[in-house]
Each structure stands twice: as structure tokens, then as C-alpha cells.
Structure 1
Amino acid sequence: MIIVRPIQQSDYDALYRIAVESGHGFTSLPVNEELLRNRIAHTEESFAKDVTSPGNEGYLFVMEDTETGEVVGTSGIEAAVGLDDAFYHYHLGKVVHNSRELNIYNTVETLSLCNDYTGATEICTLFLSESHRKNNNGRFLSRFRFLFISEHQERFANTVIAEMRGVSDENGRSPFWEWLEEHFFSMDFPTADYLTGIGKKVFIAELMPKYPIYVNLLSKEAQAVINQVHPHTVPAVRLLEAEGFSRRGYVDIFDGGPTVEANVHNIKTVNHSKRCQVIIGEVQSSENYIICNTQVSNFRATQAPVSLRATAEQVVISQDVANALMVQEGDWVRLVAN
């Protein structure tokens, strides 16, 4: 069975392997032992914490194949970004240059450095090993987070964002960054990406241009990738758009990839999820659901067929699913059709 659970210290080797597999542009998992171990420790503290409003908590989950005990993916939520370290974006805007006397009217796109998403909840660190990219595991690994957010809304902000990976090649070459590197940074993309991943962001404020950048001054290659996603990220952005996320003109300062956002109350999975009481028995349905328990530190989620008794707010699940979710008859679960 495939389950999702909070990461723990014994998962370090698996997390390091995933950090290596994920490659350039996956800023939230730097290949750095100290940072990865600290992230696990911070996650354990966050899950154990009594929270009434979102702070600097970070929740990192792993997907586990219980038959082999292998960790095959990760998925995370940051409760409120930018409270400890500045959280930077470029915002796409417009400037009009107009001369009535000369009858000239030009509209020019600009990129302005900002911290507009400070305090927003971020879904992040989604990676699934190639061996398990089947059976809707990718959708499950993304969507279960909205069940967790829905069940524990006091822990999260009303605005939820996701930074989508921008265009770069297998060697870490980013056309957007190459222009910035040439004019402002003198540092290649993998190095800048790594420094951000390990929390050394002060160089951004020190070296970034302080005034808006005119997009038409960038190289043609850089202009072409602004607000575009990496080919591997296309399914992820489509899934989020189907959930109600949209682009608001914010892009990553390194690779130009888009950030998408939604109000938590407008997210499809949040709105369509149900809270039901558990009955353990024979399931008479083949319809698949994402289902999770209502706990925090002992959170568990899986996908499985269930039988809904909607009028009584009850759900019939098998004993195997109950064991995987660590629930007993009479406990409550939250679920949504997958």
C-alpha cells in the first residue's frame, strides 16, 4: 500500500537520495546534509507544536511503499513564508511611455522586486520517484496537502501559493538567470540556486537591481521563458490550475518560473472534501478516494476504494486501510474523490 506520513529522522538517507535525483532548480531540497537534517528536525518540531495561527512551521511529508518500506516521494507545506528570511519575487507590471506631440504610445513590461507573498502558505517540495509515477500517485502526493490544510486550517494562511519550476536545461542553464548573471551577479544559476536553498539569501538584496527592469532589455532567450514552466512541471501546474490556482504576474527571481496562488476557500479539494465517521467492513464500491486521518503528528493518508453513507456522514473502509490510517471504528477521517 502507498501511504503519506510526516518525515522522520530515519528517512534522512531517502531524503538525500531524492535531493540528488531532483536536480537543478529544486531549491527547497539542497544537497547538503546539515540543511536536510535541520529540515527534518524542524518538521518534527512543527508537527509536535500546538498552533493557533500560522508561523514559521514547516511540514514535510514522505510517500512510502509499505510493501517494501521504500520512501518514493516527498511533499511539503510551509505555513507562512518570509517571516524569518525575506521571500522575494519579481512582479510583472507595465509602464506607459506616451507623447501626444509626437503621437507615440508605447507600453513596456517591467519586472519589480517585491516581498508581496510574505505570510502566505506555500505548498512545495513535491517530488515523486520515476518508479512510482503511476496509479494517480502524483495527484495523490499533491492533493492530500489540501486535506491536511482543510482539517487544520488554524495552522495556515488564507492565501496558498506554489512556486513552479522555471525553464532550465539538464546542466542547470537558465536563460533568465544568464542575463541577470551577466549584468548583476557574476554567479552561475546552480550556485545561486544552491545558496538560496541553504538559506543564504542576503546576496539577493545586496546584488539585485533596485529599480524595475524593462523586460524588452533582456535577451530574447530570457524574455521567452518568463512565466513559463519546466517541461517536467507541466502536469503539476495543470493540476493546480484545476484546483483553482491562477497566475497573478509573480515570477521566480532566478529562473522566471510562475508562482500560482489561490484563496484556501476556493481550492477545489478543500471545498469538495468531507469529514466522515469510520465503519470498518467490506467495501462495496470501486471508486477511489484520497483519505486521511484527522491527526497532526500521527497524520496518515492513502488512496483506496471506500463506500460512502453520505446521509449519515459515515464511510466504510477495509481493515487494511484502517490500519494504514491508524484509525479505529468510530474515528473520523477526511476524504475526497481522486
Structure 2
Amino acid sequence: MMIVRHAAHRDLDDIYRLAQRAGESGIGLTSLPQNKEILAERITRTTHTLEGISPKGDASYLFVLEDSSLKKIVGVSAIEVAVGLNEPFYNFRVAKQVHASKTLNVYKTLETLFLSNDHTGCSELCTLFLDPDYRKNQNGKFLSKVRFLFIAAFRSYFEERLIAEMRGFSDQNGYSPFWNALGYHFFNMDFATADYLSGIGQKVFIAELMPRFPVYVDLLPQEARTVIAEVHPHTLPAAKVLMSEGLRYQGYVDIFDAGPTLEANIADLRAVKHSRVLTVKIAEQIETAEIYYLVANDQYTDYRVLLINNHVSDDDILLMSAEQAQALNVQQQDQVRVLALENMENQK
């Protein structure tokens, strides 16, 4: 049985193993570094957040996907409560400038990149990685969409705006056309080094070295222009999952690889609008369906979620097996939050 829960310090070795596997997939997952000390701090931040002792700028939730039969952690995903409150959160705002002259009969619209802190204070989805051996049976969607269900249950803990930075294009050797055309000239370091330093929180160098004036996109090489707001092919499935939940590209890109930032108002998320709270009834016979559902116990500190294909009726009752109820740590007459795995409107 696959179950999602909060990360705990007993999971550190497994999470470190996942970080190593993430490193094999190339550059881009900077929030899951191959550094046990940093990973342990991520877990500690989750613990302190659940205990209510973290300031908003430090608050974070790290979730793990556990194969309960093997007692093995096979995936992670996370939410930052409010970015940019302790250290600046940077991206580029893709904008337009008009250059016109009536005398010369010239009117030209030029695309520009402005260094921005516009997403300061937003909540952020981040750190999604699934063991390649488990990329099947809807595990990827399960691990990603759990975060929306958690936000729906505990909406008051989050900000009004939610963002997610998508990995931009780089080739199998770590070459980023955008970085080489722009960032490299200001930082004099390779893309991998700059991205790693940013991912582990050492962002002061960005403020010190990044250009403060608008960058005219037309002045960049063609190979750099074409990857602005493009999602890395390996990240495209994850981006589609987020878009199915209501996030959209709104004109902001990463300063290193120009990957797009997806965003939405939390009030507009599918999980917020359409998740249902049902009462548990434990039964020996469970009718199954083709539709899969995320089912969460809505217990803040002992949060647990299953992916099941139990039939969900139109009434307020959810029939569950004793094994499922035990895995969720719920009993007869307890309430659970339920959301269809797929956005059914997208299936029409």
C-alpha cells in the first residue's frame, strides 16, 4: 500500500538516497541537494512548522510517499508557506516596452526581462521527486496532488497566491542556452554551480550581481530566446499535472534557465472548490470503480493520504476497508477529505 505522510527524521537516509537518484536525472532539482545536513534541516523545518514554532518565512511542509509493505520512502514533495520573507525571491517578469517615433513613422514593441520580487509572500509548491522505479500506478500524480488536498484542508495556513517554478530547458550535459547567453556574463560561473547555490539558499550573490535594468530579449541569441518560458521535457508531465489543478503561466520565468513560473489564487484550485468531506463507514465488502480518489484524514500533525478506487457515492458516506482505515488512522464515523485524482472536466 502506498501512503503519503509528513517527513520525519527516521526518513533521512531514504530521502538522501532519493536526492542521489535525482542527481542522476540531471541539473534542475536544486531543492533536493545531495547534502544530508541540508536535508535534515528540511525535515526539522517541517517538524517546527507542525509544532507551530516556525515564523512564516521558515514554515515548510515536506511530504514523503511510503511503500508501506517495504517501509521504504520512494518519493517526496513539499510546500513552502511564504517565499522571500527571509531571503529575496527572484525571477524575471516578461514585459513589453514600446519604442515609437511619429517623426520616423516607427512603432516597435520589444519584449523585456525585468528582475522581480513580485512573488514575495506567495506559497510555493516545490521539491517533487519520485523514484524512477515507482513511476507507475498513478504514483506521480498522487504525490503531486496531495499538496493541493493539504492546502484545501488547512487553507488558513497558506497565502492567497500559490506558485510553482518549472525546470527550464537544459541539455543532457547541463548546458543551458539561456544561462550561457545572459547569466554567465554577470556571474562568471557555470549553470550547475549557480543553480545549486540558489537552491541551498545562498542567494545574496544574485542581488549583488544580477542586472538591475531591463534586458531586451531581442538582443539575446536565438537559441536563448526560444527557450524562454519553455518547460524541460522531463518536467513537462509534472507541469501538466499542476495546470490540471488550476495553475497557469502568467509571465514570470526563472533567472537561471528561464523556466516558467505557474501560479493561481488558492481559492481557484480544484481541490479547494471540489474536495468533499465524507464520513467513514468500515465495511467488509467494498465496491470498486475505475476512478481513483485521494483520501486524507485531515489530521494536521499526523496527516495521511491514500490513493483508492473505492466507489464514492453521492451521499456523505465513504465505505472503507479496515486495512484502509487503519492506514489512514481513522475509525468508524471519522471524517475524511476526498478528491478525484483526475480533473473530470478535462476528461470531457
Q: Residues 245 and 261 of structure 1 are in contact (CA less than 8 Å); yes or no, is this contact kept in structure 2?
A: yes
Match of 1:37 in 2: 40
Equivalent pair of 1:247/1:259 in contact (CA under 8 Å) = yes
Establish whether residue 237 from structure 1 lines up as the match of residue 244 from structure 2. Answer: no
* SS of structure 1 residue aligned to 2:58: coil
1:111 to 110, 113, 116: 113
The question of whether the paired residues in 2 share the 8 Å contact of 1:93 and 1:109 is answered with yes
Alignment of 1:202-217 (within 5 A): 202-217=204-219
Measured after TM superposition, the shift of residue 284 of structure 1 is 1.8
Partner of 1:84: 86
Quote the residue 1:314 is aligned against.
Answer: 317
**Number of the residue aligned with 2:337:** 334
Q: Paired residues, what number?
A: 336
Instruction: Spell out the pairing of 1:16-35 with structure 2 (5 A cutoff).
Output: 16-23=16-23, 24-35=27-38
- Provide the rounded CA distance (Å) in 1 between the counterparts of 2:314 and 2:59: 34
Aligned residue runs from structure 1 range 171-250, under 5 A: 171-250=173-252
Partner-residue secondary structure (3-state), 1:225: coil
Structure 1 CA distance for aligned equivalents of residues 119 and 218 of structure 2: 26
Q: After superposition, give the CA deviation of every residue in 1:6-28 in whole Å (9 maximum; x if it has no partner).
A: 11111111111222222311121
**What secondary structure, in the 3-state scheme, does the structure 2 residue paired with 1:321 have?**
helix
For structure 2, list consecutive stretches of 5 or more residues without a partner in the other structure: 342-348
Where in structure 1 are there 5+ consecutive unaligned residues? none
Contact in 1 for aligned 2:296/2:337 (Cα 8 Å) = yes
CA distance 1:80–1:65, shift in 2 (3 Å): same
2:11 corresponds to: 11
Residue number in structure 2 paired with 1:158: 160
Where 1:310 maps in the other structure, the secondary structure is coil
Indicate if the aligned counterparts of 2:57 and 2:86 stay in contact, CA closer than 8 A.
no
Q: Give yes or no for contact 1:181–1:188 (8 Å, CA) kept in 2.
A: no
Tell me, in whole angstroms, the C-alpha distance in 2 between the residues paired with 1:110 and 1:151: 39
CA displacement, residues 133-158 of structure 1 (integer Å, 9 cap, x when unaligned): 11111111111111110110111111
Q: Distance in 2 between matches of 1:19 and 1:105?
A: 51
Tell me if structure 1 keeps the 8 A contact 2:183–2:256.
no
Q: 1:181, CA displacement in angstroms?
A: 3.8
Structure 2 residue matching 1:193: 3-state secondary structure: helix
Is the 2:57–2:84 contact (alpha carbons within 8 Å) kept by the matching residues of 1?
A: no
- Bigger shift: residues 55-64 or 249-258: 55-64
Deviates more, 1:242-251 or 1:280-289: 280-289
CA distance in 1, matches of 2:309, 2:28: 36
